[in-house]
Amino acid sequence: MITFTDDLDNLLNETLQQVHEMLRCDLCTINLLSAEGRVLQCRAALGQGGGWFLGMEFTTEQGINGWIVRKGQPVLIADADRDPRRLCISGRTEPIRAVVGAPLMVKGEPIGTIYVTARRPGVFTPDHLEFLVSLAQQIAPAVQRAWLLEQAVRRAEEMESLLNIGAVLAASLDVDQILQTIYEQASRIMDTSAFFVAIYDPQRRELDFRLVYDQGERLEPFTLPLNEQEGLTDHVVRSGEPLLIRHLDKERESLPIPPVVLGQPTQAWIGVPIKFADQVLGVISSQSYEPYAFTERQLRLLTAIADQAGVGLQNANLVAGLRRAQQAIAEERDKLVHLHRVVADVQRAEDVDSRLQRIADGLQSLGWGRVAVFLWDATLEIAALAYAGYAPEDEEMLRDSWLPCHQGHVCFGDEMTHLRVGGCYYLPWDDPWVREYAPWSGAGEEGHRAVHDDEWHPLDRLYVPLLGRQDKMIGVIALGSPADGRRPTVETLRVIELFAQEAALAIENAQLVADLQLVNTDLQEMVDTQAHLLNTIEEMITVLDLEEGIGRQ
C-alpha cells in the first residue's frame, strides 16, 4: 500500500519497494523529466547497483527510458542486449537482459518513467507489464504534485538565497563578508561538500583561493599560479565559460582539460566564472563526493550568484583600489618628507665622502636592504664609494663586481635600453645581456625560485644614474633587496629619481666646494710664496744698499 505523501522521496521509495516485491527484479528506478522536458534524472533506485544510478541524467533521445518518454508507451523486452534502443553506459559491465517499463503520464503528457530490469532474459510477463502500467497511472498525479511542491519550495529557497546575497552586496564592500555570504547561501540550494571562491589576479597570473571549505570546515587560503595545461578552475578562468561535471570518473576522458586533484577527489564538479564587463574576476566552484549531485539548473543558479558577486567584487575592488591609492600617496608623501630630511642632512656634510655615506644610509632607511653609491673620475674609474647593508670586507667585491666602471657609459647606452624603467635601469639576473656582462648574475641562481612574476630575485640590481649639471653622469646608485620584494615600476621609482637628482646636485656642490677650497689653498700658497719672495727681495735690496754705503766711505 503506497502512502500518497507530498514528500517526493518517500513517495518514490515506497513505490519502488512495492515494485521490487511484486516483480522480484534485480533493479528498479524512477526517472523524472526536467522542467524543460529534455533530460531524465534518476530520482530513486532500488536493487543491485541502485546507488550507482541514483542522480544519473540522460536526455530523452537516449536509451529505452528516452523511448518510453518520447512515445508515451510502455515496453516489455525479453532480452535488452539485443534491443537497439538500449543505452550502453560506460563503466557498467553487468548484463541487463529483461526490461519492463512504463511512462508516468499526467493529462497525456509524460513526467517520467518507471524502469525495471533483471539479469535473466524473459523473466517479465505481460501481467508484470499490466501491473506496472496500472501502478504508474495511480502514482503519476501524486508524483507530479509532490514534484511541483518540491520545485516551489526549492525555487523559494533559491530566490531567498539570491536576495540575501544581493542584500549583502548592496550593504557591504568587504570582500571576505561577500564570499562568506555566497558560501552560506549556496549551501542552502546545492551540495557544498567542497566549495571555494578563487580571485584571479591577471597581472601576476595567479589564483587566490580566498575562501575554501571542505566538509563544512573552512580551510586556510592559498595561492596558485594559473596553469595553462591542466586544472578545471584554470580552464574556467581562461575560457570564461561555466563547467558542469556530473560524474568525474566517467567524464574524465572527455573533459576539455585534465583536472588537478588536491586532497580527496570529488565526483561531481561545478564551476562558474565571476565576471564584470566580460572581465573574469574569479571562479566559484562547488563539488560533491557523490556523482550526479549537480544539474543544469544548479549551474544556472551558481551562474546567477556569480553575476551578483561580479558586481559586488568590482565595487569592493574599486574601493580597495581607491584606498590603496590613498595609502600609496600617503606613503609617497612620507618618503618625500623623509628624503627631504636626508637631502638636508647630506648638504650639511662637509665633504664628498660624508655626503655619499649619508646618501647610502638614507636610502637604506627608505627600505633598500643593500645600497652602494659610486662616483667616477674623468677616466671612469671609481673615485669614491659609500655603501650600506654590506660588511667592510665586501668593499673589494663592490668595486670589482657591482659596476665595471670602465664600461659605465657603454652600459648605460643603447645596449641597456630594454632594461630602462623610467630614468633608471633594472637588471634582472636572468636577462641574457646581464648574464653576459654582469659577473654577479650567475651566482647562486638555483637557490631561489620566484613565486610571482614581479618578484625581485636576490641577484637583481637597480641602477639609478647620478646626473649632474648638463645631464653629465657623475656616478650611479646601485640598489638591491627592496623591502617589498617586488620589481620596480615607473611609479615606484619616481621618489628615488627625485632623490637622485637632489643627491647629484649635493655631490656636485660638495665637489665644487672642495675644488674651491683647493683653489683657495693654491692661491693662498701662491700669495704666501710671493710674500716670501718679496721679503727676500727687500732683504737683498737692504743688503745691497748697505754694501753701497760702505763702498762710498
What the chain holds in terms of domains, given with CATH numbers, is 8-153 (3.30.450.40), 172-320 (3.30.450.40), 349-511 (3.30.450.40)
pLDDT for residue 79 is more than 80: yes
Per-residue confidence (pLDDT) for residue 45, from 0 to 100: 92
Nearest 5°: the CA angle 436, 440, 444 is 110
pLDDT for residue 104 is more than 90: yes
**This prediction's pTM:** 0.55
55 phi and psi angles, rounded to 5 deg: 90, -10
Please state which of the ranges 330-334, 367-371, 404-408, 433-437 shows the lowest mean pLDDT: 404-408
Q: Beta partners for 268?
A: 288
CA–CA gap between residue 13 and residue 393 (Å, rounded) = 84
Residue 516, CA distances (Å) to 135, 213, 348, 357, 529 in order: 114, 73, 17, 22, 19
Q: What is the dihedral of CA 226, 230, 232, 235, to 10 degrees?
A: 60
The size of the chain, in residues, is 553
Contact 476, 374 (CB under 8 A): yes
Per-residue confidence (pLDDT) for residue 405, from 0 to 100: 42
Judge residue 234's burial from the number of C-beta atoms within 10 Å of its C-beta, 0-12 exposed, 13-18 middle, 19 or more buried: buried
Q: Beta partners for 45?
A: 29
pLDDT for residue 515 is more than 70: no
Name 240's Cβ contacts closer than 8 Å, sequence gap at least 6: 273, 275, 278, 280
| Cell numbers for 241 | 565559460
pLDDT in tens, 255-292: 888 888 777 889 999 999 999 888 899 999 999 998 88
Helix or strand holding residue 407 (H, E): none
Considering only the C-alpha atoms of the chain, give the largest distance between any 2 of them, rounded to a whole number of Å: 176
pLDDT in tens, 134-143: 999 999 999 9
CA–CA gap between residue 462 and residue 420 (Å, rounded) = 10
pLDDT in tens, 177-226: 888 988 988 888 889 999 999 999 988 889 999 999 999 999 999 999 88
CA–CA gap between residue 340 and residue 345 (Å, rounded) = 9
pLDDT in tens, 343-402: 787 778 777 788 888 888 988 988 899 999 888 877 667 778 888 988 888 777 777 765
Mean pLDDT of 454-464: 88
CA–CA gap between residue 134 and residue 22 (Å, rounded) = 13
Question: What SS3 class is residue 172?
Answer: coil
At 433, is the pLDDT very low, low, confident or very high (cuts 50, 70, 90)?
Answer: confident
DSSP string of 28-78? EEEEEE-TTSSEEEEEEEEETTHHHHTT-EEETTSHHHHHHHHHT--EEES
Portion of the chain with pLDDT greater than 70, in percent: 86
CA–CA gap between residue 336 and residue 19 (Å, rounded) = 84
CA–CA gap between residue 43 and residue 113 (Å, rounded) = 10
